[in-house]
């Protein structure tokens, strides 16, 4: 989800930082072919300024409370998988493969079911970089380059506003459907038992389990929503859309600096396979 900016006009793909840093002459030399940061901003900013949400890095407004809620949801999600008798019948390697594939959408369903809401702020390093770009004309190019690189490393640890908004949109959609606990359970089954995961030894068995979960969901909906034949399709579509949310973004938002992607999966596997 954290992809490049798409707001630049044709022929203006170089960002303002690139144009500034490509000038090697000190700003104090009035005869140098380069330009000062201030004059460059004055002449170029109106045409090349970017307000794209993909460039804005954010962090949790209340990290301690929200991360605790997120951790509780993650633990409940793994316990849900662990307590499925059909899941325990699968080969261990298949269980591990399904875990790697589904933990993120399963976690999002858990956030929705537990009604976890959260707010974000623009990350401090991103705000500082913006202040340097817009106000500070006292830095030479070398010093500016150093500070910019340092802040971009910090920003890389934070998700973009666009990615967080995409997650919030998924949650809002699920909440608008007003799912019952049984609907959440059946949807989790359709997410967990994904026969398209590469390398499954029991792919046909997993496909059968997914079909069973979908059928159970359909049978559950008939008496409760007799006049709404499209509800099943909306639920399955909403569950499918969760795959568009990057697992790495979820880790950056809720579980950094505690862990990263390479560390989280083994931790989840330990929970799943512990007796």
Is position 141 within any domain? no
Is position 130 within any domain? no
| Model confidence band, residue 201 (pLDDT cutoffs 50, 70, 90) | very high
| Model confidence band, residue 91 (pLDDT cutoffs 50, 70, 90) | very high
| Model confidence band, residue 156 (pLDDT cutoffs 50, 70, 90) | low
Is position 239 within any domain? yes
pLDDT digits (tens, 9 = 90+) for 229-258: 899 999 999 999 999 999 999 999 999 876
Selection from 16, 97, 93 nearest residue 51 by Cα: 16
d(CA 23, CA 5): 23
Is position 21 within any domain? no
Domain CATH number, residue 244: 1.10.565.10
Percent over 90 (pLDDT), the chain: 62
What is residue 120's three-state secondary structure? strand
Give the up-direction half-sphere exposure of residue 38: CA atoms within 13 A in the CB hemisphere. 8
Is position 251 within any domain? yes
Is position 192 within any domain? yes
Is position 131 within any domain? no
DSSP state of 196: T
d(CA 252, CA 73): 16
* Most trustworthy range by pLDDT among 19-28, 200-209, 260-269: 200-209
Q: State which residues form the domain around 264.
A: 56-125+156-273
| Model confidence band, residue 149 (pLDDT cutoffs 50, 70, 90) | very low
Q: How many domains does the chain have?
A: 1
Is position 132 within any domain? no
């Amino acid at each position: 989800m954290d992809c490049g900016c798409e707001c630049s006009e044709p022929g203006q793909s170089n960002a303002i930082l690139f144009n500034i840093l490509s000038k090697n002459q000190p700003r104090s030399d009035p005869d140098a072919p380069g330009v000062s940061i201030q004059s460059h901003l004055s002449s170029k900013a109106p045409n090349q300024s970017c307000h794209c949400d993909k460039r804005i890095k954010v962090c949790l407004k209340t990290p301690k409370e929200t991360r605790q809620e997120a951790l509780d949801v993650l633990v409940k999600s793994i316990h849900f998988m662990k307590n499925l008798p059909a899941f325990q019948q699968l080969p261990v390697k298949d269980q591990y493969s399904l875990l790697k594939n589904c933990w993120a959408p399963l976690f999002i369903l858990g956030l929705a079911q537990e009604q976890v809401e959260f707010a974000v702020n623009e990350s401090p390093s991103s705000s500082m970089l913006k202040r340097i770009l817009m106000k500070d004309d006292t830095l030479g190019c070398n010093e500016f380059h150093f500070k910019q690189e340092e802040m971009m490393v910090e920003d890389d640890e934070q998700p973009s506003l666009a990615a967080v908004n995409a997650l919030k949109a998924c949650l809002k959609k699920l909440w608008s459907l007003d799912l019952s606990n049984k609907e959440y359970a059946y949807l989790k089954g359709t997410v967990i038992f994904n026969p398209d995961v590469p390398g499954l030894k029991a792919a046909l068995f997993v496909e059968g389990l997914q079909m069973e979960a979908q059928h159970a969901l359909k049978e559950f909906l008939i008496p409760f929503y007799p006049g709404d034949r499209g509800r099943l399709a909306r639920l399955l579509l909403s569950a499918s859309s969760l795959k568009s949310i990057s697992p790495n973004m979820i880790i950056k938002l809720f579980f950094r600096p505690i862990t990263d992607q390479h560390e989280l999966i083994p931790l989840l596997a330990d929970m799943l396979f512990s007796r």
